[in-house]
């Protein structure tokens, strides 16, 4: 899953208003930030095989540290605690919003991945395999993202028109990115190249989310 992971982040922003959207975007991809880093340094393994599963080229045959269920739970609690320690506001709400957003990544992957998510270290792998049919998985991902965006926009309306426009523009950009990435993109030939491109995409979307944060900030009178 790619864009669908951002649905929970957007929804969480509607209720954890002191947490910047870009922080929730990072939380949504937290385990993939680690996965990509682990692949680059050789700790976790992936093979790039064109159209390996549906249109996905990823044979994710060893990723127990980032995508194992126990690891995902601990990593989610860790990032929730770190964010709560650094940001003002109700710490329980912040931990819950960030940790649940981070753990929703594993649940989203469970829906789309083939059985490559380990329940215990590198054993007992699960996955429901929706990626096998990209013409179903892509609308599901885009729908999840827009549902989260709608929840955010309804729960915490922007004080500025520019903020509303920026949020929905980001949503349509991400939908287009999902379609491009699934059906038209040429994938890097190496695992390291794919991991580097993934990191670039996650950072870029977090930066765009920071722009949305700025556009939705209430401006002082006369500014």
Average pLDDT of the residues in 161-180: 97
Q: Is the pLDDT of residue 213 over 90?
A: yes
Q: Classify residue 163: in a domain, yes or no.
A: yes
Residue 72, both tokens = 């995902």
Structure tokens at 123: 């054993």
Q: Provide the residue range defining the domain that includes 69.
A: 3-215
Evaluate whether residue 223 is within a structural domain.
no
Give the total number of structural domains in the chain. Answer: 1
Residue 221: predicted pLDDT: 52
Q: Per-residue pLDDT tens for 90-124?
A: 999 999 999 999 999 999 999 999 999 999 999 99
Tokens of 148: 């989260």
pLDDT, tens only, 214-223? 999 876 554 4
Average pLDDT of the chain to the nearest whole number = 95
CA distance 13 to 35: 24
pLDDT (average), residues 73-81: 98
Contact between residue 18 and residue 89 where contact means Cβ atoms under 8 Å apart? yes
Tokens found for residue 121? 């270290």
pLDDT at 220: 52
Confidence class for position 198, pLDDT limits 50, 70, 90:
very high
Share of the chain above pLDDT 90, in %: 95
Dist CA 187 CA 52 (whole Å): 12
Pairing mode, strands 56-62 and 45-53: antiparallel
Instruction: Give the pLDDT mean for 138-147.
Output: 98
Average pLDDT over residues 162-186: 96
DSSP-based three-state secondary structure for 217: coil
Is 221 among the domain residues?
Answer: no
Rounded CA-CA distance 126/110 in Å is: 7
Q: Regarding predicted confidence, which is higher, 218 or 154?
A: 154
List pLDDT tens digits, range 37-66.
999 999 999 999 999 999 999 999 999 999
The end-to-end CA distance of the chain, in Å, is 40
DSSP structure class, residue 219? P
Domain assignment of residue 110, yes or no: yes
Q: How confident is the model at residue 192 (pLDDT cuts 50, 70, 90)?
A: very high
**In this predicted model, which residue has the larger pLDDT, 219 or 155?**
155
Please report whether residue 53 resides in a domain. Answer: yes
Helix, strand, coil share of the chain (percent; to 5): 65, 10, 20
Closest by CA to 36, choosing from 28, 23, 46, 26, is 46
Whether residue 139 is contained in a domain is answered as yes
pLDDT of residue 172 exceeding 90: yes
Q: Are 67 and 122 in contact (CB under 8 A)?
A: no
Higher-pLDDT residue of 146, 223: 146
What is the Cα Rg of the chain in Å? 17
CA-to-CA separations, 110 to 66, 106, 160, 206, in angstroms, rounded:
14, 6, 37, 23
Instruction: Please state the pTM of the whole predicted model.
Output: 0.96
The reply to whether 220 falls in a domain is no
């Amino acid at each position: 899953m790619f864009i669908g992971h951002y649905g929970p982040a957007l929804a969480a922003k509607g209720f954890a208003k002191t947490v910047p959207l870009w922080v929730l975007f990072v939380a949504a991809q937290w385990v993939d930030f680690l996965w990509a880093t682990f692949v680059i340094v050789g700790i976790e393994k992936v093979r790039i095989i064109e159209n390996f599963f549906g249109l996905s080229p990823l044979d994710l045959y060893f990723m127990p540290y980032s995508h194992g269920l126990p690891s995902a739970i601990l990593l989610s609690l860790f990032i929730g605690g770190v964010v709560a320690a650094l940001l003002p506001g109700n710490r329980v709400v912040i931990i819950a919003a960030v940790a649940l957003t981070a753990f929703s990544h594993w649940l989203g992957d469970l829906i789309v991945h083939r059985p490559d998510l380990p329940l215990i270290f590198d054993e007992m792998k699960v996955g429901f395999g929706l990626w096998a049919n990209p013409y179903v998985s892509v609308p599901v991902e885009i729908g999840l993202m827009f549902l989260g965006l709608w929840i955010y926009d309804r729960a915490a309306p922007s004080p500025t028109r520019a903020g509303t426009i920026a949020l929905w523009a980001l949503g349509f950009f991400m939908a287009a990115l999902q379609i491009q990435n699934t059906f038209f993109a040429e994938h890097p030939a190496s695992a390291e190249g794919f991991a580097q491109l993934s990191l670039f995409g996650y950072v870029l979307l977090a930066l765009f989310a920071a722009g949305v944060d700025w556009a939705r900030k209430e401006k002082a009178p006369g500014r």
